[in-house]
């Protein structure tokens, strides 16, 4: 169902089924509209969790666990999240994408099976027996199709195997896969808008084993 109207119209929100929704997510181009519509839903309906996307940094900082702004459950600044994600990738040596799990030491990362990979053509159960760490491989991407593997699934060249493991476990996995972290000496940002500023701030505040020398904003 598609309804074309203002997101701050309570009658419309009720007609759209907001009262029975598990989540209400507002991602319009207007920070104020996102905050207002989520605040209205939070105040009017008990069931849905509310998520508002904002770009203004001040709005991002205007909420705490004890006193959420307008009762909104989650206020997400997409530019801050992009900067954090890039920082996380750099921190781990630019070897894979990284998905961290809240309140957990576990991560989901992907391992690409390239031409020289020692895992190529091996069944997944053989990897498990050769790697002395606990991990789960929930799915793999093969020729743009997601597959839920079994122990008998053989890994082919260009497969992307997604793995759930601890950070220390990934170090052992990547070492066996001959995936060394890339040493980074210089980083140049093209453009000085919010993402670049947030990224420079995060990189400047943290110490990373794989980064040395300078960060430059162009």
The CA–CA distances, whole Å, from 17 to 3, 55, 104, 125 equal 11, 27, 34, 46
Question: 112 and 168: one domain?
Answer: yes
Which tokens sit at 200?
A: 């420079």
Give the C-alpha separation, 199 to 81, whole Å.
10
Give the C-alpha separation, 84 to 105, whole Å.
17
C-alpha 120, offset from chain centre: 27
Asked if residue 213 has pLDDT above 60, the reply is: no
Question: 149 and 206: one domain?
Answer: no
Residue 97: phi, psi to the nearest 5?
-70, 155
User: For residue 109, is it within any domain?
Assistant: yes
Asked if residue 208 has pLDDT above 60, the reply is: no
8 A C-beta contact, residue 26 and residue 19: no
Question: 172 and 185: one domain?
Answer: no
Question: 164 and 120: one domain?
Answer: yes
pTM: 0.56
Residue 170, domain CATH: 3.30.70.1450
Task: Write out the residue range of the structural domain in which residue 123 sits.
Answer: 97-176
Provide the pLDDT confidence category of residue 158 given band limits of 50, 70 and 90: very high
Coil, helix or strand at residue 215: strand
Closest of 50, 57, 49 to residue 27, by C-alpha: 50
**Lateral strand order in the sheet of 49-54:** 23-26, 49-54, 74-77
User: For residue 145, is it within any domain?
Assistant: yes
Angle CA 36–66–84, to nearest 5:
75
Question: 35 and 60: one domain?
Answer: yes
User: For residue 194, is it within any domain?
Assistant: yes
Question: 116 and 186: one domain?
Answer: no
Query: What total number of domains does the chain contain?
Result: 3
Per-residue pLDDT reduced to its tens digit, 159-207:
999 999 888 888 888 888 887 766 666 777 776 677 777 777 767 665 5
User: For residue 5, is it within any domain?
Assistant: no
Question: 30 and 127: one domain?
Answer: no
Question: 44 and 56: one domain?
Answer: yes
**Sign of torsion over alpha carbons 7, 8, 13, 15:** negative
User: For residue 137, is it within any domain?
Assistant: yes
Question: 149 and 112: one domain?
Answer: yes
Question: 197 and 147: one domain?
Answer: no
Per-residue pLDDT reduced to its tens digit, 18-62:
888 999 999 998 999 999 999 999 888 888 999 999 988 777 776
């Amino acid at each position: 169902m598609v309804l074309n109207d203002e997101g701050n119209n309570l009658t419309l929100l009720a007609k759209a089924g907001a009262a029975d929704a598990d989540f209400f997510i507002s991602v319009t181009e207007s920070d104020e509209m996102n905050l207002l519509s989520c605040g209205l839903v939070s105040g009017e309906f008990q069931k849905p969790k509310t998520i508002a996307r904002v770009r203004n940094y001040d709005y991002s900082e205007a909420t705490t666990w004890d006193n959420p702004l307008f009762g909104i459950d989650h206020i997400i600044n997409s530019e801050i999240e992009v900067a954090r994600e890039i920082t996380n990738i750099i921190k781990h040596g630019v070897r894979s994408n990284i998905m961290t799990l809240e309140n957990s030491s576990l991560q989901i990362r992907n391992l690409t099976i390239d031409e020289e990979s020692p895992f190529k053509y091996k069944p997944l159960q053989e990897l498990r027996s050769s790697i002395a760490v606990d991990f789960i491989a929930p799915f793999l991407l093969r020729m743009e199709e997601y597959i839920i593997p079994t122990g008998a699934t053989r890994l082919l060249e260009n497969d992307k195997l997604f793995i759930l493991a601890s950070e220390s476990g990934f170090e052992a996995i990547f070492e066996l896969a001959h995936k060394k972290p890339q040493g980074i000496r210089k980083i140049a940002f093209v453009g000085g808008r919010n993402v670049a500023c947030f990224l420079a701030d995060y990189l400047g505040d943290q110490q990373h084993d794989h980064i040395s020398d300078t960060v430059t904003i162009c």
